[in-house]
Amino acid sequence: MRMLIGISTLLIMIILYVGIVVTIADRLPTETPALIQLIFFAAAGIGWIWPAKWIINWSRR
């Protein structure tokens, strides 16, 4: 049962996370330097790992 809850929570978390990141990315000014955009997208691409790791570890107990 825990695995089902974990998978469901992980899917919901990823969908919400992507929605938030896309909303923030759309609001960045178009003249934002490429380096700042690179840092933002790199951080956003890595940022979901820690909550996902916690959810996976919880569901495997």
Confidence (pTM): 0.82
Give yes or no for a contact between 40 and 28, defined as CB atoms under 8 angstroms apart: yes
pLDDT in tens, the chain (61 residues): 889 999 999 999 999 999 999 999 999 898 989 999 999 999 999 999 999 999 999 999 8
Look at residue 52 in the predicted model and tell me its pLDDT. Answer: 94
Nearest CA to 15 among 51, 56, 61? 51
Q: How confident is the model at residue 61, as a pLDDT?
A: 83
pLDDT score of 13: 95
